[in-house]
Structure 1
Amino acid sequence: MRIKRGVTTKAKHKRILEAAKGYFGRRKNTIRIARQAVEKAGQYAYRDRKVRKRSFRAIWIQRINAAVREQGLTYGVFMHGLTLTSIELDRKVLADIAMHEPDTFRAIVAQVQSALDAKVAA
């Protein structure tokens, strides 16, 4: 008696072709090409989950830097001042405050500035 593998093969192919839904040309309906496309898409997705975190951090830093320079400081000096004042806000929150609540951000910068001035005086 021979072993027939049609059911398992069909299930494997179906899984790949479902993942390739929306692709153009033979990438969506030819199993060999669809498998390559789905594998590559998975590689891009894995890589770009890491890249997304880097990109957001870069955006937050740019926004903080722009807001701080309006107050006459630089990003690096400002972040150093935050550690001196022991204000523990992360870059995401700081960028959000800088964009949506400029008065609050000015108050934070004022605290940082006073801490920096105290350090220089000491």
Structure 2
Amino acid sequence: MPRVRKGAARRKAHKRVQKGVKGHRSAAGRLHRLAKEANVRKEVNARVGRKLKKRDYRGLWIIRINAACRERGIRYSQFINGLKKANIEVNRKMLSEIAIADPKGFDTIVEQVKAAL
């Protein structure tokens, strides 16, 4: 009986790898072994990017809050300290949204913070 070579399964696996590296340049987009390695690196970098995105957004929110606080005569660090002392539990994302969309609401928060300090 002749031995079975896994032609269809291998072709399917190779196509799956090639689909994953679609758009890659040079050998990483064509040769199977290099494409497999490129696929692994792609997935690792995607995971790292998802973690970095969270860090970048937090930095953006802090910059926005700091700018809004400086307009109202208080530093960011003092503002955050005052929030803790005033027992105002609003996260930085919501604070930056309030600072942009509702300046009067942010003014009231700043007044409460200044009173707590």
TM-score (normalised: structure 2): 0.89
Q: Structure 1, residues 7-50: CA drift from partner, whole Å, max 9, x if none? A: 22112111111111222333333212222221111111111111
Q: How far, CA to CA, are the matches of 1:86 and 1:3 in structure 2?
A: 71
Q: How far, CA to CA, are the matches of 1:102 and 1:23 in structure 2?
A: 46
Secondary structure at 1:88 match in 2: coil
Aligned to 2:38: 37
TM-score (normalised: structure 1): 0.86
Aligned to 1:63: 64
Alignment of 1:90-101 (within 5 A): 90-101=91-102
- Structure 1: runs of 5+ lacking an equivalent: 117-122
Alignment of 1:2-81 (within 5 A): 2-81=3-82
Q: How far, CA to CA, are the matches of 1:3 and 1:77 in structure 2?
A: 73
Aligned to 1:119: none
Letter in 2 for 1:25: S
- Structure 2: runs of 5+ lacking an equivalent: none
Alignment of 1:94-109 (within 5 A): 94-109=95-110
Aligned residues: CA RMSD: 1.4
